[in-house]
């Protein structure tokens, strides 16, 4: 076991599998031993670890935006993030707002995704300015809804406005508008300020 | 010796104990024990030091895990309120990670968050996303490489 020898460097992919718990116990032991004797591979492992901590920190601080799954939502709740959720399920205008203390705002987008390969979700202000765009969201068979997360801090900067969300479905190279939803964004509110104040 | 091995013991602890504070304690204990053995002349060859440190890390990590399991079982039995410290989000540049993470393809981003935040294994992620475990593993390491390049680029531009 010496830092001067690394005749069999571990592939980056295997280091990632090791850190993610996807190796057998025997392979984990092999990599443990290698890392203790190899400065280069120890550095690669440290990089994976640092990146992993960074990703976890982004999520834990409510700064992640994009599509999430139920298990990410469960973890965010378990970590004590204050989550405001709106369900979009049809042509009704959904009133919404962001409150002081909110960390994350999640839209639960329901539609008929049958036979689609993927969808694109675009949110726009009444002025037409794009707020967010998520392209190529893969759809799995039987999927009924998409959870779209947005950091509350970013929404606090948004004035009171009507928000249009368009979901476009893709099958191969063909695409079609699948659904449109409207949110009436009331602005940013603060209960502790003794009332409601909008930006 | 401390500079060379402390980060590796810490990494070992984070990997096997899933707890930053426990990993830090492990590094301290293992290296103190190693210094004692070196002073006592029980470890001599430089090649032996790495093996000794890894062996000690394994034994102490096992003991820590056993204690943690016992504590969890007592907590469940007596409904004792758990008190724990949230690990510090100490990373070189979370801002850059956030920016780079959002520049990745949607599925890659989800795979990374499921792995490193929700702590799911590839079969679990595969199940959630409706793809195979192999697809998840390939997507994960490629996405992490892209993230590393992007964050490295940010750091280079900053300096």
How does pLDDT run across A67-93, given as a tens digit for each residue? Answer: 999 999 999 999 999 999 999 998 889
CA atoms of B85 and A50, how far apart (whole Å): 19
Whether residue B144 and residue A51 make contact (CB cut-off 8 A), yes or no, is yes
Whether residue B94 and residue A57 make contact (CB cut-off 8 A), yes or no, is yes
Q: Where are the domains of chain A?
A: 12-60, 66-191
Whether residue A54 and residue B93 make contact (CB cut-off 8 A), yes or no, is yes
Give every CB contact of residue B150 below 8 A, 6+ residues apart in sequence.
B96, B99, B100, B103
Q: pLDDT band for A198, please (50, 70, 90 cuts).
A: very low
Rounded to the nearest angstrom, the minimum Cα separation between A54 and chain B is 6
In chain A, positions 14-43, which contact chain B (CB-CB < 8 Å)?
16-22, 32-33, 35-37, 39, 42
Chain B residues with beta carbon closer than 8 angstroms to that of A71: 114, 118, 120, 124, 128
In this structure, chain A runs to a length of 199
CA atoms of A154 and B33, how far apart (whole Å): 49
pLDDT score, position B127: 92
pLDDT score, position A1: 54
- Hey, what are A56's tokens? 């976890």
Pairing between β-strand A118-125 and β-strand A130-138 as defined by DSSP bridges = antiparallel
Rounded to the nearest angstrom, the minimum Cα separation between A196 and chain B is 31
A154 in reach of chain B (CB within 8 A): no
pLDDT score, position B83: 36
Nearest residue to A36 via CA among B28, B2, B13, B50:
B50
Contact A13, B145 (CB under 8 A): no
Which strand (E) or helix (H) includes residue A27?
A: helix A25-37
pLDDT score, position A149: 96
Q: Where are the domains of chain B?
A: 2-78, 94-158
> Which of A14, A23, A53 is most worth mutating to test chain B (most B CB atoms within 10 A of its CB)?
A53
B1 in reach of chain A (CB within 8 A): no
Assigned CATH topology for domain B94-158 = Arc Repressor Mutant, subunit A (1.10.10)
CA atoms of A145 and A119, how far apart (whole Å): 12
Pairing between β-strand A145-151 and β-strand A66-68 as defined by DSSP bridges = antiparallel
A147 in reach of chain B (CB within 8 A): no
pLDDT tens digits for A146-165? 999 999 999 999 989 999 99
Decide if domain A66-191 falls under CATH 2.60.40.10: yes
Among chain B residues, CA nearest to A5: B47
CA atoms of A11 and A18, how far apart (whole Å): 11
CA atoms of B88 and A152, how far apart (whole Å): 22
Higher local confidence (pLDDT), B140 or B2: B140
Whether residue B97 and residue A54 make contact (CB cut-off 8 A), yes or no, is yes
pLDDT tens digits for B59-104? 888 888 787 776 666 555 555 444 333 333 444 588 899 999 999 9
């Amino acid at each position: 076991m010496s830092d001067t020898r690394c005749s069999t460097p571990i592939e980056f992919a295997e280091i990632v599998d090791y850190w993610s718990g996807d190796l057998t116990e025997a392979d984990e032991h092999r990599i443990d031993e290698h890392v203790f004797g190899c400065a280069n591979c120890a550095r690669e492992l440290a990089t994976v670890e640092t990146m992993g901590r960074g990703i976890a920190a982004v999520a834990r601080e409510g700064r992640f935006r994009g599509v999430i799954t139920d298990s990410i939502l469960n973890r965010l709740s378990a970590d004590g993030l204050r989550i405001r959720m709106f369900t979009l399920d049809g042509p009704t205008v959904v009133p919404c707002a962001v409150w002081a203390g909110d960390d994350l705002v999640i839209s639960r987008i329901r539609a008929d995704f049958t036979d689609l390969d993927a969808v694109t979700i675009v949110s726009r202000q009444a002025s037409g300015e794009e707020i967010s765009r998520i392209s190529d969201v893969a759809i799995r068979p039987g999927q009924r809804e998409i959870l779209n997360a947005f950091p509350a801090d970013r929404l606090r900067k948004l004035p009171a406005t009507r928000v249009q969300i368009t979901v476009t479905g893709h099958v191969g190279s063909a695409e079609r508008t699948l659904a449109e939803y409207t949110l009436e964004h009331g602005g940013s509110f603060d209960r502790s300020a003794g009332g409601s104040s909008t930006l | 010796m401390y500079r060379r091995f402390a980060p590796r013991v810490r990494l070992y602890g984070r990997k096997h104990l899933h707890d930053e504070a426990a990993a830090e304690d492990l590094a301290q204990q293992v290296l103190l024990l190693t210094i004692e053995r070196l002073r006592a002349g029980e470890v001599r060859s430089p090649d032996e030091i790495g093996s000794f440190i890894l062996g000690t890390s394994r034994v102490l990590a096992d003991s820590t895990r056993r204690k943690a399991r016992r504590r969890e079982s007592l907590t469940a039995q007596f409904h004792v309120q758990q008190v724990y410290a949230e690990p510090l989000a100490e990373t070189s540049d979370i801002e850059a990670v956030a920016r780079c993470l959002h520049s990745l393809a949607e599925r890659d981003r989800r795979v990374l968050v499921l792995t490193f935040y929700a702590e799911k294994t590839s079969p679990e992620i595969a199940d959630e996303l409706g793809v195979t475990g192999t697809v998840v593993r390939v997507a994960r390491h490629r996405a992490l490489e892209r993230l590393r390049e992007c964050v490295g680029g940010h750091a280079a531009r900053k300096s």
